[in-house]
Homo-oligomer: A and B are copies of this chain.
């Protein structure tokens, strides 16, 4: 993945019915195989076998191994985009407290990760995807940051000058904590308790903003 940077787009647009089924089964098989063996050791032969097709057929739809990962990435990113859009739409439709809104957002993040933990892990950790995919990932992240920023604005929770930075940090924290949660769920903690905890982190951070900008000074006063 890192070595060969030849990322091409799928060879053909599978319009026909059977083609689509084949492509889907290959992608599904790829997820399982990459999860079980990792990307490097997840051979095309194994993917084809699990998909129930011949290697040759695999190469009929994907010009090379990397293209499978790209397809997976694009699919995953699109899914994320949809999920995020829906979640934020909800927060706008309903009239909620900041905490409840945050809970909804965090819930959305968890859904994002739960959708395909393996693919997400693959893309965010094991592999360095092609620029094209990286940009798509960053676009989604930018969108998340912007949405959070709007939420902050709508609640007048944070000074405008810091809103962008705070939103970025919130996305980072939410991203990592939910990621961790989905991949390594801590026993002795119900999913709801987990969400509560993440919300507390974010809420605490936001409330901190209205107290003062300089952490040291702020806390000094507290003591």
Binding site for B on A (CB under 8 A): 1-3, 36-41, 97-100, 103, 124-128, 165, 168-169, 172-173, 176-177, 180, 186, 189, 196-197, 199-201, 203-209, 214-216, 218-220, 222-223
Contacts and interface: CB of A to CB of B under 8 A. Distances in A.
Given A201-B201, A203-B204, A204-B205, 7 more contacts: A2-B41, A3-B38, A97-B216, A99-B216, A200-B215, A205-B205, A207-B208
Nearest to A43: B3
Most buried by B among A196, A201, A220: A201
Most buried by B among A1, A197, A200, A223: A200
A172 B180 contact: yes
Contacts of A168: 186
Nearest to A99: B219
B169 A98 contact: no
Given A3-B37, A38-B3, A172 B165 contact: no
Given A125-B125, A126-B125, A38 B99 contact: no
Contacts of A124: 125
B189 A215 contact: no
Given A1-B38, A2-B37, A41-B3, A203 B196 contact: no
A56 B189 CA distance: 50
Contacts of A206: 204
Contacts of A38: 1-3, 40, 127-128
Contacts of A103: 215-216
A199 B218 CA distance: 11
A23 to B, nearest CB: 20
A141 to B, nearest CB: 11
A199 B180 CA distance: 20
Nearest to A1: B38
A172 B189 CA distance: 15
Contact of A177 (B37, B98, B172, B197): B172
Nearest to A208: B204
A48 to B, nearest CB: 15
